[in-house]
Amino acid sequence: MTTLVTGAFGCVGAWVVKRLLAAGERPVVYDLSDDPWRMRMIVGPERLGDMVVVRGDIADRDAVVRVVGDHGITRIIHLAAWQVPLCRKDPSKGALVNVVGTANVFEAAKAHRVGRVTYFSSAAVFGPPHLYGPGPISDDAPPKPATHYGVYKVANEETARIYWEEHRIASMGFRPLSVYGPGRDFGLTADPTLALKAAVLGLSFEIRWGGATDLIYADDVAQACLAAADSTLDGARVYNLHGESARIADVVRMIEEAWPEARGRLSHVEQPIPFPAELADTGYQRDLGPRPRTGLRDGIRKTLDEFSALARAGRLDARELEPAT
């Protein structure tokens, strides 16, 4: 078994690779970046030689098809994507990376008879809470995206459905909302993790939004990806991922309780983001579970401890907190 992880140098990609290495695999990682700094932080520099690194663009169809064929790939975990800010800044390039890139992955699977693709969708396929009834948003709630990024994720879910109906390529897509933990440093919902890193470094930080959100620990998301990759279920399935819903004001309070030195240094703007406040993961728990969840307080504590250990070892990369020059 050989697993291809696209976007492997991102946060969830690095956590997926860490779990694949722990399981004894030698994964093939595909990323446009030539700086695996998140991978060094999460996996450790000593493990970088235990994976096959291929630098390439997910928007390059021929390159994606080639890497699948050259390395005898048997399953694909597709995580390469642009986040909300980049898609807002350049919607055309965002569509190229997120929509065409996903079609390229399925084309590569078709060309080399890879029968299963696990991919990232997003809770951004849904709109803000006022567009839905009370309570958590279910898997089958109608998509009402409020961002280009969300529109592209809806397109990817439909792309996956067509590849199942026409080519019998099974797939599972996941819709997390606010992923947090070591390695999460970019995107609209990265701010809680940046606040955690700032706390450890003794810096001030303002979370740029507020209200309630559904926070899920990065390693829980990686475990979901591997459960899907190991599954034998057919069809084109899409699941919400639920962690724990909390208001950002309460997240700040939890960080300050766990790391008292941060008191007075962290703040937030009470402006909700245009996504649901809570997701229901009934389908995921039914088909791939029951799966344990990392509680928010535990996840905050784990993240603080990991950042602290990395700081003591001189390996805590904080480039995203450096002031612009």
- The fraction of the chain above a pLDDT of 70, given in percent, is 99
Q: Which residues contact 287 (CB under 8 A, 6 or more apart)?
A: 231, 233, 237, 239
Name residue 116's beta-bridge partners: 170
- DSSP codes joined into one string, 167-199: H--EEEEEE-SEEESTT--SSGGGHHHHHHHHH
Question: Residue 207: in which H helix or E strand, if any?
Answer: strand 205-207
Predicted pLDDT at 83: 95
Would you say residue 26 has pLDDT above 70? yes
Could you give the CA distance from residue 273 to residue 265 in angstroms, rounded to a whole number? 22
Indicate the SS3 state at residue 91.
helix
Average pLDDT, rounded, for the chain: 96
pLDDT of residue 218: 98
Residue 291: the pLDDT is 86
Please give the C-alpha separations between residue 317 and each of 32, 41, 201, 283, 325, in angstroms, as whole numbers. 19, 8, 11, 37, 18
Q: How far is CA 202 from CA 28, 259, 265, in A?
A: 37, 10, 8
Q: List, in order, residues 6 or more apart from 207 with CB less than 8 Å away.
A: 191, 192, 194, 195, 248, 251, 252, 266, 267, 268, 269
Go through the domains of the chain in sequence order and give each one's CATH number.
Answer: 3-182+217-243+275-293 (3.40.50.720)
Tell me the mean pLDDT in the region 143-169: 98
Q: How confident is the model at residue 325 (pLDDT cuts 50, 70, 90)?
A: very low
**What are the pLDDT digits (tens) for 57-75?**
999 999 999 999 999 999 9
* Residues 6 or more apart in contact with residue 22 via CB below 8 angstroms: none
Give the model's confidence band at 323: pLDDT under 50 very low, under 70 low, under 90 confident, else very high.
low
So what's the pLDDT on residue 320? 86
